[in-house]
Structure 1
Amino acid sequence: MKNKKLYILAILAIAFSSCNKELDEVNINPNAPEIPQPDYLLTGTTKTTADTYWGGTNNMNSSLLFAQHWAKVQYTEEDRFIFSNSSFTSLWSTGYAQSIAGFNKIIELGDAQGNPNYRGVALVLRSWVFLLLTDAYGDIPYSQAGKIKQFVTPVYDKQKDVYYGILNDLKTAQAALDPASGKVISGDVIYSGNIALWKKFANSLRLRIALRIADKEPAKSKQVIDEILAEGGTYINSKSENAQLFYSDSPQQNPVAASFETRNDYRISKTIVDKLFALNDPRLPIYASKTDNATPQTYVGIPNGSTNSEASAIGLANSSRPGTYFLAPKAPAVIFSYAELLFDRAEAAARGFTTENAADLYKQAIRASFDQYSIGGSAVDDYINQASVQYDAGNYKKSIGEQKWIALFGQGLEAWAEQRRLDYPQLTASVNTVLSGKIPVRFIYPGTEQSLNGQNYKNAVSSQGADLLTTKLWFDAF
C-alpha cells in the first residue's frame, strides 16, 4: 500500500512538472527577446535618466527653486520648502532601480559581446547618476548598490568615498573606451556612437568631481587633473560636443514642455531676472518669456518663497514664464556644456591646479554660454567689458560662481550643487519659508529607506547628521 501511494505521488509530481513546463512555454512572448539588447537598453535607460534629471520633481519643483532660477506662481508650498519624506523619492528610486540597474546590465551585456565601448559608455553614465545622487543626498549606497542578489539592504558609503569611487570608475571607463577598436555601439542618443566624444565627456566629469571635492581634498583634486593631462586626455571642446539629450515631439517631448502643456505653476525667479537686468545680459530674452500683459519691465520674475496670495497678486499674466527656448518640445536636457567646462578649467587654474590663464578661460566660458544660445557679435564684448563682469582674481569664487550660475540656467541640480560649493551668488531665503532663513542644502532621504533599509539608514544619519534639508554635506565646506 505504501509503495502504491508513492507511485501515485510520483505520477502527480510528473504531471505537475509537465503542467508548469507547458505554462512556462505559454507565457513566453515570442515577439520579445528574453535577453535584452544593449542598444535598446542604452536608449531607454539614458532617456529615463535624462527625464528624471530634467523633469518636475528633481528640477522644476526643487533644485531650480533652491538655486533661484525658477519660482512658483501657484501652489507655492515647495518654494517655501514645505516637503515631506516622500517628496524626494523620484531621484532615488529611478536612479537605483532603473538607471543604475540598466547601466549595470549594459556593462554585463557589453562584456558578454566583447565590446568594451558599451562598458565604457555605461560606466560614464552610471557615474553621472551616482554623482547626482550623492550631490543631492550625501552618503548613499554605492559599493553595494545594484547588486540585489548579494545585498538586499546595501550599506551607505560616505560621500567622500562615493566621489573617490566614481573617479576610479571614470578612469576605468576612459581606459575601456577605444575609438580605434572597431567595436561599434548603437542606441546612443547623446553622441550617436562617437566614442572619442565619450572619452572627452568622461574627462569632463572627472574635472567636475575634482572641483567638487577641491575645498576638502585639494591634493586629490590636483592629482586627478594631473592624471588626465598625463593620459593625454582632452575635454569637451565646443558646443557641438555638449553632452545633452535632444527630445522629439509629443509624447517624447522635453519634460519642461510636457509640464507647461497642462500646468501653469512656474515662473522665472525675480532673483535671476534682477541680476540679468543689472548686467544688461542679452540672455534675458532667452531665459524668460515676455509677460502676457504689457508691463513696464516686459520680463517680470516672481520672488522665491512667495505665499500663494502674494504670487496671485502679481498674477499669471503679469509674470514671465521661462523662455520659449526652454519650453520647446525638442529643447535639450543639457548634462554637461562647453561653457561649464571652461568655467571649470578657469577655476582649476585659479586654484593653482594648472598653469592655464584663469582670466582668459573665464572670458571664454562667458562667450561659450552666449554661443550656446547663438548670441554673438559686439553684445558679447560689451557684456564682458563691464566692470561688474570683469574677472576678479582676488575672489575667483565670486566671479566664476555668479557667471556659472547664470550659465547653468535650467540645470537645477548642477546649478544648486555649484552654488552650495562656491557660495556664490549669495542667495537669500524669503521670510515665508519654513527653514528659519536657510535654503535647503540637501534632499532628505525617501521615507521608504527607513522601513526597507532601516539600520543602514540609521548608520548614515548617525555619520552624516540629521536627515534634514539643512544638514550640510561633506563637499559643502563653507
Structure 2
Amino acid sequence: MKKYKVILLLVIASLSLNSCSEDKMDEINKNVNDPLDVPTRFAITDAMTSTAFSNTGSDLSFYTGVYVELNAGGFGQMYNAETRNGEPKNQTTNNNSWNSIYQTMYNLKLIINKCTTGEEKGNYETLGVAQVLYAYNLALLTDMFGDVPFTEAFQPGVIFTPKLDRQEDLYKIVFATLEDAIVNLGKTSGYENLGSQDLIYNGDTDSWTKAANGLLARYTLRLSFKNPNYAKVLDYVSKSFTSNGEEFKMKNSNIPNPYYQFYVARKYLFASKSLHDKLTAKNDPRADGYFKKIKKTPTATPTYEFYANGVSPQSQTYSYSALQNVNNPIFMLSYHELLFIKAEAEARNSAAVTSTASLIAAVNAAFNKDEAINFSTANATNYIDALNITTNADLLKEIAVQKYLAFYENESVEAYNDYRRLLAMYGSAAANPIQLANPLNATQFPLRLPYGDSDVSANSNVKAAFGDGNYVYTEKVWWAGGTR
C-alpha cells in the first residue's frame, strides 16, 4: 500500500508541475541571445550593415565589376565570370545576394510596420531611415534581376510561390517610398535619437534626407531612356550632398571593406587591361595610382602585369588594385556620383550646354574620393581642358567615361547600371561611350543577373522566368529597353 501511495504522489506532483509551470518552462527555454522581437533602434543597425556589406559591397559588386571591366577575373569563380564559364547564368551564382537582399527587406518591412501601426507608432526617425534603406534595396534587387517577387513576397506560410512584379511597377514603389521617407524624416519624433546605432549618419536626419534626394536623382536619371526628366534630376541634386562628408556610405572600423576581404581571402580579382588602356589614352593621373606593380620572381624588378579581359590565362600573377584598404568606405551613393549625375542632367536638359564646369567639379571630387589613395595633386581643370571638349555630344560622352573611371573599384554595381542604360540610349555597344574589350561580349554580355537558386528551385513562377538561364544574355531589364 505504501508503494502505491508513493506512485500516486509522484503522478500528482507531475500533473501539478505540467499544469502550473508551462509558462515558466517557456521562459526558461527562451534563448535570450536570439530574441524574436527587438526594439527597432537595434534592428535598424543590422539592416544598415547587411545593406552595405552583404548587398552592395560584396558578390554583386565583384561580378558586375568583371562584366564592365573595372576589374578582371583572373582566378576561380571570377575567372569563370570573366570567361562566361557558367557563372553569369547559373542560378547559384548570385544566390547569396538574392537571399540577403530579401532578408534585409523583410527585416526593414518589420521595422516599417512597427513604426507605422505597431508598438513604436510615431517613431518617425527610424521609420524614415528604414524607408530609405527599403527603397534602396528594392532598387538594387530589380536593377540586378529585373522583374522579381515583391507584392506577394514576405508572407511566409501564407503565399509560398509569390508572383513576379514588373520592374516598371517596382520603380514606382521605390520613388513613393523615398518620398514618404523624406516626409517622415522631417517630422518630430518622441523616441530616442538613433545616435550611435546609426552607423551611417549617427542619427542625423538631415543627412538621411539628403541621401534620399540623391537616390531620387539617381533613379530618375536611371529612367532616362523610358521617361526622361532632367529638370527633376537637377531639383533632387540641389537638395542632396554638398561635400563628400555627406555621402551615403558605410565606413566603420568594425566592418571591413569587402574588396579588401575578398583579396585577402581569395586573390581572384586583378588589374583590368581594358581599364588601364582607357586611363593611359587620356594621360589620366590615375593610370599608375590605381594599380600595384608585382614581382614575377623574388629577384625581378616590379612591373605592371595587366589581365587582358576575356583572353589572359587563369593565374594569380597579375597586378591588383592599389586602392585596397580594410578601412575603405562602402559607397551606396558617393558625392562624385552625384556630381556626375548633375553634369549629365545639365547636358541632356539642353543641347546648348558645352561648358565643362560641372564635369570638372565631378572629376575633382573623384580625384579626392574617400579611399586609401587620393589624387589631390592632379589638376582636374587641366586634365579636362586637355581633352578639348567643344560639343554637347562630346561632353555627354566624356561625362559617361569619367563617371565610369571614377567608379573604380568598389562602385561597380552603378557602373554596370550605367553601361546598360547607355547601351539603350545610344542604341548599340559600338556607340556606347564606354567601350569594353572582352571579345565574348559580342554574344555573351550579361544584360542582367540570374535569379537566385532558392526561388528558382522553390517558386514555379521564378523557375519559369529563369528557364535555362540563357535569358541573361538576351533579355534587357525594363529601364534598359527590355520587357522584364
Using the size of structure 2 for normalisation, the TM-score is 0.83
Identify the residue that residue 340 of structure 1 maps to in structure 2: 337
Change (3 A) 1:133 1:443: same
Identify the residue that residue 4 of structure 1 maps to in structure 2: none
Q: How many positions carry a matched residue from both structures?
A: 446
SS in 2 for 1:351: helix
1:73 paired to 2:74: yes
Identify the residue that residue 399 of structure 1 maps to in structure 2: 398
Q: Which amino acid aligns with 1:259?
A: F
Instruction: Work out the CA distance in 1 between the residues paired with 2:251 and 2:150.
Output: 29
SS in 1 for 2:400: helix
Identify the residue that residue 24 of structure 1 maps to in structure 2: 26
Change (3 A) 1:30 1:73: closer
SS in 1 for 2:270: strand
Q: Which amino acid aligns with 1:413?
A: V
Change (3 A) 1:19 1:277: same
The gaps in structure 1 that reach 5 residues or longer are 1-10
Instruction: Work out the CA distance in 1 between the residues paired with 2:302 and 2:243.
Output: 34
Identify the residue that residue 376 of structure 2 maps to in structure 1: 376
Instruction: Work out the CA distance in 2 between the residues paired with 1:391 and 1:50.
Output: 39
User: 1:74–1:265: 8 Å Cα contact kept in structure 2?
Assistant: yes
The alpha carbon displacement at 1:166 in A equals: 0.4
Using the size of structure 1 for normalisation, the TM-score is 0.84
Identify the residue that residue 185 of structure 1 maps to in structure 2: 194
SS in 2 for 1:475: helix
Instruction: Work out the CA distance in 1 between the residues paired with 2:476 and 2:433.
Output: 18
Q: Per-residue displacement from partner, 1:369-405 (whole Å, max 9, x unpaired)? A: 11215433563232121126x3741245422211110
SS in 2 for 1:372: coil
Q: Per-residue displacement from partner, 1:61-112 (whole Å, max 9, x unpaired)? A: x101011011122232121122221111122110002x10121222234343
Identify the residue that residue 141 of structure 2 maps to in structure 1: 133
Identify the residue that residue 248 of structure 1 maps to in structure 2: 253
Identify the residue that residue 53 of structure 2 maps to in structure 1: 51
The alpha carbon displacement at 1:443 in A equals: 0.4
Identify the residue that residue 122 of structure 1 maps to in structure 2: 130
Change (3 A) 1:436 1:290: same
Q: Per-residue displacement from partner, 1:149-202 (whole Å, max 9, x unpaired)? A: 653332211111111110111111111112765752241111111110111110
Identify the residue that residue 451 of structure 1 maps to in structure 2: 457
Change (3 A) 1:461 1:422: same
Percent identity over the alignment?
Answer: 27
Identify the residue that residue 214 of structure 2 maps to in structure 1: 204
Q: Which amino acid aligns with 2:476?
A: K
User: 1:271–1:303: 8 Å Cα contact kept in structure 2?
Assistant: yes
Identify the match of residue 350 of structure 1 among 347, 352, 368: 347
Identify the residue that residue 5 of structure 2 maps to in structure 1: none
Q: Per-residue displacement from partner, 1:207-243 (whole Å, max 9, x unpaired)? A: 111111111122xx358548759xxx61111111111
User: 2:214–2:338: 8 Å Cα contact kept in structure 1?
Assistant: yes
Q: Which amino acid aligns with 1:174?
A: I
Identify the match of residue 240 of structure 2 among 235, 243, 246: 235
User: 2:71–2:269: 8 Å Cα contact kept in structure 1?
Assistant: yes
User: 1:391–1:399: 8 Å Cα contact kept in structure 2?
Assistant: no
RMSD: 3.2
